[in-house]
Each structure stands twice: as structure tokens, then as C-alpha cells.
Amino acid sequence: MTRRPVITEARLREMVMTINDQAKAPPVPYVNGVAQIGNYHLSYAYGGVALHRMTNAGGAVTDVFNRGHMPKRELHDLMCSFTPR
């Protein structure tokens, strides 16, 4: 049985940068306090992590996978569907 590598926060951030690049979305969620519509970013809460996307100038977000905060491994596996291998 092959052991899968540990998924780090750095790896998730790298994947989010790739998603933003491919989507031609802003690379950061806020610039000078202004929400950057379309930006994908990580959200941490409840001991887990989720992928959010900025939806309006007021800072509202959507949960991309509509599954709430989850373990890093689970999010990583879902995010692989967004990025080429």
C-alpha cells in the first residue's frame, strides 16, 4: 500500500494560486480594503478548510464545493478537479 503525502497549507495555497491564474481571477481577496470579485481563497474554521470565491464588492463569498469546512486532504482532492495534473 502506497502512503499518500501529507497535505500542507502551503500546498493548498499553491493550488489556489493556480486556480486563480487559470480563471484569470484576482490573486488576492482584498486590495486596499476592496473585495476583489472572482478571487478564490481559503477559509479556515471549525478545524477545517474550505475554498471560497468572492462574489461581490461587499465581501460576500460562496463555498465553491458547497460542503463547508473539511479536512485538508478532502479539500485537496476536490481541488484537483479544478487544476490540471
> Would you place residue 85 in the very low, low, confident or very high pLDDT band (cuts 50, 70, 90)?
low
Handedness of CA 21, 24, 30, 33 (dihedral sign): positive
- Alpha helix stretches (DSSP H) within 1-85: 9-22, 72-79
The pLDDT value recorded for residue 16 is 96
Average pLDDT over residues 46-64: 96
